[in-house]
Amino acid sequence: MYRKVLLAYDGSPPANAALAAAAVLLHGQPAELELVYVMYDLPLNVEFSDGAMLEASRSSQRSAAEAILSQATRHLAEDALPAQRTILDAGGRRTAEAIVEHAVREHAGLIVIGSHGRRGVSRALLGSDAELVARLSPVPVMIVKESGHAP
């Protein structure tokens, strides 16, 4: 099926739905699963303040990302699904761009990402990382809508 699956994960309800779907998809498969958390860029007012404040904020964000990924990998381990964890720095890119670039660089066969399932004005105003990943990616993308129950 897939040799490597990349799961965009941030601990949100849609990401948890994607995690559950990936676990079902990969159960009993020899595929490698990589959980990817993208650290967002800090607001301009933080970036231009003193360096110590910026470093403390980045460190706090990284610690939170590590905790979120650790909890997810523990959950997967209960189902005997090992996973690699990666924290990416957006580095001025949109989250979706960072995910797609990493998937291509790492030769992922599939990207799994959760979606809030927003429609209308909400979707137009807030945008959709999942939709942008699907549009940008040369790698197949599985979008999992937040449904309130696991697959």
**Which tens digits make up the pLDDT trace of 45-79?**
555 556 676 677 788 889 999 999 999 999 999 88
| Domains of the chain as residue ranges with CATH | 4-145 (3.40.50.620)
**Which tens digits make up the pLDDT trace of 76-119?**
998 889 999 999 998 889 999 999 999 999 999 999 999 976 55
DSSP for the chain, please give it: --SEEEEE--SSHHHHHHHHHHHHHHTT---EEEEEEEEPPPPHHHHTS-HHHHHHHHHHHHHHHHHHHHHHHHHHHHTT---EEEEEE-TTS-HHHHHHHHHHHTT-SEEEEEE----HHHHHHH--HHHHHHHH-SS-EEEEE--SS--
pTM: 0.85
